[in-house]
Structure 1
């Protein structure tokens, strides 16, 4: 079906300032994940996944270790999640996910990105109903029957499975993430319980894409740059087709 999911791997930028922002975002997310679910990756599947992603994106070990050590303490920042929705350039739809220790500041910063690019921030749910909140797993191989059987046996509510160019993509509701991932590892992993995912994410997938061209496309790129420059912004999802 060719669903328009976004491979959100954070590319390491050339400038040291941009690298620092990437490291900071990972460090914050690792800290929050470890604080809420435990600092041992073996007992916290979400944390293990996050650390693996950080390593793939060349985040230094000392950044990861510092976040874990910080999570072991009784103090530290009190971060909360925040999600903002609205309309971007060219009538595109946008969802912005944040981790913040100051929701008022974060809302003001995100709203400024919208207003400076002549966009409109909306109320919760204003565009979210046009996205599917999905767990996505992409890995090598094309044995759809084996994958489907493993997920059904694990009582996973599979949304879709696609096989193309010797790659398999599994879509499931975001609430099924841990169960689906464990089923895939148990079935396809090696004797050490390890398995390599090309994509291992929970994302908002647009139900339909929307073409954004010309000056709107240029403005959209500016809009995305402004959002991703904010320390509190972790992920940005949209339905814009810039091709």
Structure 2
């Protein structure tokens, strides 16, 4: 929970720096505030994070993407939010090395993934067939369900804003909305090999600067 609150706090800081503190005029901030609600982040903590982002002495976070390989040829994309890229790249490289992987150059594995907008919606009152027809003009690429029965819709990265606006105009408030890196193809490895990869992913996710880790394991 503390890690999730920290991650969202940094995302709020980035959103406020880019688009201002008014969520009505800042789609990026609205997205992050929705996600804060989905993990039960208290409203006063959200408001404090917005206020802190406006302060002169606060850290200027930027999002930086690192690419590399885990053991057994599994590709990893590591999304970070950092106020010190020198520290972050050193830590990320150390995690890869100690976890039996290798940090690569920019572009080394990114081509194996597609940058997508992913929205999670409550199924109540939603007709999936009708919604699919209504949203296809706004960049909808895929509709499905998760293991909990929630509706998952995906669009391309460049259509994220259009999709967010379309859902808002239809009065649909997502449970969460994220920008994710989806593998174009997945790699089959053994259960024991998976454990090696997950140890590295866990190591990366425990780093304070790391926001998300994406992989192409089946």
TM-score normalised by L of structure 2? 0.88
- 2:156 is matched with 173
1:20-31 correspondence to structure 2 within 5 Å: 21-31=3-13
- 2:33 pairs with 51, 57, 61, which one? 51
Q: Do structure 1's residue 234 and structure 2's residue 216 form an aligned pair?
A: no
- 1:16 is matched with none
- 1:15 is matched with none
- 2:195 pairs with 218, 237, 242, which one? 218
1:119-198 correspondence to structure 2 within 5 Å: 119-139=101-121, 140=123, 141-152=126-137, 156-162=138-144, 168-187=151-170, 189=171, 195-198=172-175
1:67-78 correspondence to structure 2 within 5 Å: 67-78=49-60
Deviation at 1:72, TM superposition (A): 2.2
Contact 2:20 2:26 in 1 (8 A): yes
Give the distance between the partners of 1:85 and 1:224, measured in 2 at CA. Answer: 13
Please provide the CA RMSD for this pair.
2.2
* Deviation string, structure 1 residues 192-221 (Cα, Å, up to 9, x no partner): xxx232442111000112123243222222
User: Which runs of 5 or more structure 1 residues have no equivalent in the other structure?
Assistant: 1-11, 13-18, 190-194
Contact 1:142 1:168 in 2 (8 A): no
Which deviates the most, 75-84 or 89-98? Answer: 75-84
Q: Do structure 1's residue 105 and structure 2's residue 82 form an aligned pair?
A: no
| Helix, strand or coil at the partner of 2:180 | strand
Q: Do structure 1's residue 204 and structure 2's residue 187 form an aligned pair?
A: no
Deviation at 1:163, TM superposition (A): 6.8
TM-score normalised by L of structure 1? 0.80
Deviation at 1:136, TM superposition (A): 1.6
Aligned length: 214
1:182/1:85 CA distance change after superposition, 3 Å: same
* Deviation string, structure 1 residues 63-88 (Cα, Å, up to 9, x no partner): 32221111222442122221111111
Deviation at 1:235, TM superposition (A): 0.9
1:127/1:164 CA distance change after superposition, 3 Å: closer
Give the distance between the partners of 1:97 and 1:56, measured in 2 at CA. Answer: 20
User: Which runs of 5 or more structure 2 residues have no equivalent in the other structure?
Assistant: none
